[in-house]
Amino acid sequence: MYREETQATQEHGAGKPPGERRPTAGWWRRNQRAYTPYLFLLPFFSIYCVFMLYPILDALRLSFFEAGGFGTPEFIGLGNYRQLLEDPRYLKALENTTIYTLASIFILSPIALILAVTIRSFVVPWATFKSFYRLTFFLPFITSLVVVALMFNVVFDPNYGLLNAFLTSIGLPQLGWLRSPDLALPSVIMVGIWTYVGINSLYFLAGLQNIPDELHEAAAVDGAGRVKTFFYVTLPLLKPVILFVVVQATIFSYQLFELPFLLTGGGPSDATLTLAIYLYETGFRQFDRGYASAIGYSMALIAIAIAATQLYLYRRLER
Amino acid sequence: MSHKLRTRFWQVLGNAFLLFAVFLTVMPYIYMVTSSFKPGSELFSIPVRIFPESLYLGNYELLLRETDFVRWFLNSVFVSAARTALSIVISIMAGYAFAKFAFRFKGVLFVLVIAMLTLPIYVLIVPLYTMMITFGWTDTYIALILPVAAQAIGVFLARQYLLSIPDEMLDAARIDGAGEWTVFWRIILPLSKPVIAVLGILFFTTTWNDFVWPLVVLTESRMFTVSLGLPTLLGPYSQEYGAILAGSFLSTLPIAAVFLVMQRRFVEAITAGAIKG
């Protein structure tokens, strides 16, 4: 502390009588430790407060107002939320999004786990193969969803698409895919699986690598077969990662927007309408800001509920 | 002997399964690249062929000469670079404060950051858009850069990394008379290179690929980013599939280049949230 002071005198007082030193300099020298953290937080929290916190609170306020068009908003209490529960389009969007989420949990995640376990197992003993598989499965995740959608638009094209060409070549009838009300949602789910299965298998792989080999060897010594080892040793140890993957998949599935928006625009006849697309249509096409904010808050509530469940389950896992 | 044979059998089967998955993953990319070199007559021919008969460059000519693609590409480069730089600086600064200082309200402020990790952007997008109109920021670069620069994941990862730097190192510098800013600039930043690389990859990729926010704040074609511009080529009056695929291919190149150069860091960056979270 003493040395600091002398240096301050040298720096600021060089060639000047002591009285002419900036009065704040000494004060700053003495107090900077206390104020520094706030100054370092300032840029982040300025942007955070203006562009996130304020809009979030504003949306909460708006969700209690009838705020369509350019007229003065009118307070209607929980009116927007009550209307959501009776809105067939909202319920359809909720249903579609939930189906997509269930597919993420019960189709996508198991496939990802199987891929990861296969890569990690004795089946692929060669390091170059391992990293080749890893890198390939990583690709779709870093590709823009716009590019993914544009590619699959061509793949799913009823007349000239790869998929129907394949069906024809094995003698099956062609299908409408994205244009058919029954197949549109399954098609979007297929694209979703294609996009996200790789990254989730990498999450599982990271989890598998944290399980020490000795445990498997010990199980083998005890006479457990590979299948038994997997179910009684690997799977229980993988629980935290499984929980993470499922929670991530659930949270992001409920926010699904780009793929259906670009592949089908939510159609045909709302077959692929999601919560986010419905919010976008309400807020930015019909300019009903109050109702759109209510949809947004319903999505936030879903995310919070999932996060809370995750926290609860983590606590139980740790015990 | 039979044991060895059985191992071989499973190896063949397992790798066949994995290679089939690789095939499914790679096929759309191959189709995208090869089709971008096909004239319209070949693109829409039956039976469907994967490889073009000859290397046709018309789609690229159309894309580069008659659409705003070049402008979109440059917009994306500028916006992604600026937003990445800004996000990195404020993330490291905030992460440093959380990692290395004790101060009042630290816990509350950190919870405020973490709360943003799971909250969907859709909650705030409508009022945020209204705000952009009030500021007169629609169709500007600043709207694409500033409002989305505060990324909670960045603060979280920076804090996580900086926790591992020993306090003694910073205190030694302070005893030598270094001010707090000097400590940050001369010691923290140089030591943060690995986490800066991770954040750089993470922010650049997400900004480059972002679709929702540009869709909301941009209406003029000359301000579009690549992600927003490409689908507009698929309008009701123009079905330039070839040009769209060419544009998709070109727009994937920058990310693919970064990926090839820094594979390990890239995987680390994208899976960072999972392993550390």
Nearest to A123 among B11, B179, B228 (CB): B11
Give chain A's domains with CATH numbers: 2-62 (no CATH), 80-318 (1.10.3720.10)
- On whether any CB of chain A is under 8 Å from the CB of B237, the answer is no
Whether chain B has a CB inside 8 Å of the CB on A319: the answer is: no
Q: Say if residue A79 is exposed, middle or buried (CB neighbours under 10 Å; 0-12, 13-18, 19+).
A: middle
pLDDT score at A23: 61
- What is the distance between the alpha carbons of residues A283 and A67, in angstroms, rounded to a whole number? 10
Most A-contacting residue of B112, B126, B216 (CB-CB within 10 A), to test interface: B126
CB contact A169 to B (< 8 Å): yes
Return d(Cα B188, Cα B205) in angstroms, integer.
25
- Which positions in chain A touch B89 (Cβ < 8 Å)? 43
Chain B residues touching A161 at Cβ < 8 A = 48
Alpha helix segments (H runs only) across B36-68 = 40-43, 58-66
Three-state secondary structure call for residue A68 = strand
Q: What is the DSSP track for A213-272? A: HHHHHHHHHTT--HHHHIIIIIHHHTHHHHHHHHHHHHHHHTT--HHHHHHTTT-STTTT
With a CB cutoff of 8 Å and minimum separation 6, the contacts of B14 are A118, A121, A123, A124
CB spacing of A45 vs B184 below 8 angstroms: no
- Cβ of residue B44 closer than 8 Å to a chain A Cβ: yes
pLDDT of the residue at A29: 74
Are A48 and B129 within 8 A, CB to CB?
A: no
B41-60 pLDDT per residue, tens: 777 766 667 777 778 888 89
CB A146 within 8 Å of CB A258: yes
What gap in Å lies between CA A318 and CA A316, rounded to an integer? 5
- pLDDT in the model for residue B229: 92
Tens digit of pLDDT at every position of chain B (277 positions): 577 888 888 888 889 999 999 999 999 999 889 888 888 777 776 666 777 777 888 889 888 888 889 999 999 999 999 999 999 999 999 999 999 899 889 999 999 998 888 788 899 999 999 999 999 999 999 999 999 999 999 999 999 899 988 888 888 888 888 888 888 998 899 999 989 988 998 899 899 999 999 999 999 989 999 999 998 888 655 667 888 999 999 999 998 888 888 877 777 766 665 544 3
Query: Coil, strand or helix: which one is A211?
Result: coil
* Interface touch B32/A151, C-beta < 8 Å: yes
Q: Do A155 and B17 touch (CB under 8 A)?
A: no
Q: What is the pLDDT of residues B228-275, one digit of tens each?
A: 999 888 865 566 788 899 999 999 999 888 888 887 777 776 666 554
Residues 256-275 in B contacting A (C-alpha not used; CB under 8 Å):
259, 263, 266-267, 270-271, 274-275
In chain B, what are the domain boundaries?
67-276
Dihedral angle of Cα B69, B75, B81, B86, to the nearest 10 degrees: -150
CA distance B230 to B93: 36
Paired residues of A64 in beta bridges: none
Distance CA B205, CA B212 (A): 14
Confidence at residue B117, expressed as pLDDT on a 0 to 100 scale: 82
Tokens representing B212?
Answer: 């929702």
Whole-number Å distance between alpha carbons of B181 and B184: 5
Instruction: Evaluate whether B226 touches B247 at the Cβ level (below 8 Å).
Output: yes
Q: Residue B192 and residue B178: Cα distance in Å, rounded?
A: 19
Please give the CATH topology (third level) of the domain spanning B67-276. Answer: MetI-like fold (1.10.3720)
Q: Do A151 and B216 touch (CB under 8 A)?
A: no
**Cα–Cα distance for residue pair A97/A249, rounded to 1 Å:** 12
In percent, how much of chain B has pLDDT > 70? Answer: 93
- b (16+ CB within 10 A) / e for B46-75: eebeeeeeeebeebbebbbeebbbeebbeb
Closest residue by Cα to residue B154 from B105, B109, B90, B101: B90
How far off is chain B from A105, nearest CA to CA, in Å? Answer: 17
Per-residue pLDDT, B249: 93
Q: Which of A198, A194, A237 is nearest to A214 (CA)?
A: A237
- Amino acid identity, position A46: S
Please give chain A's pLDDT, 319 residues, in tens: 344 444 444 444 444 444 445 666 777 777 777 888 999 999 999 999 999 999 999 999 999 988 876 678 888 888 889 989 999 999 999 999 999 999 999 999 999 999 999 998 888 888 888 888 888 888 898 899 999 999 998 888 888 788 888 888 887 888 888 888 889 999 999 999 999 999 899 889 888 888 887 777 787 777 777 788 888 888 888 888 898 889 888 988 999 999 999 999 887 889 999 999 999 999 999 888 899 999 999 999 999 898 888 888 888 877 6
pLDDT confidence of residue A69:
67
Instruction: Select the residue from B124, B130, B137 to test the A interface by mutation, using most A Cβ atoms within 10 A.
Output: B124
Per-residue pLDDT at A308: 87
Interface pTM (ipTM) of the complex?
Answer: 0.88
